[in-house]
Amino acid sequence: METEDRLLTPGEVASLFRVDPKTVTRWAAAGRIGSIRTPGGHRRFRESEVRALLEGDAEAQTGFEAGHSTH
């Protein structure tokens, strides 16, 4: 019942979103995206979650405040 989806590295997620890996790190630190940490401290992201975010699944997304237009 567990979703064994693949994990993505910060760099891969950054490429998917076309942003700097540092930005992905900030998202994780802010709790906007779930993250798994390796014993070494590096982050890994669930592909399914990233996909959902990329798909524009804004229905159940956070940070969707009052009509805040995109930057």
In the complex, which residues of this chain contact DNA (CB under 7 A)?
9-12, 14, 18-29, 38-43, 63, 71
Q: Say how far apart CA 50 and CA 20 lie, in whole Å.
A: 15
How many residues sit close enough to its own copies to count as binding (CB under 8 A)?
36
Find tokens 């401290």 and name the residue: 41
3 interface partner picked from DNA, its own copies, none, CB below 5 to 8 A per type:
none
5 interface partner picked from DNA, its own copies, none, CB below 5 to 8 A per type:
none
**Beta-carbon-side half-sphere exposure of residue 4 (alpha carbons within 13 Å):** 1
Q: What are the tokens at 38?
A: 């390796």
Query: Which amino acid does the sequence have at 71?
Result: H
- Binding residues for its own copies, rule: CB under 8 A, are 6-9, 17-19, 23, 27-28, 31-40, 44, 49, 53-54, 57-67, 71
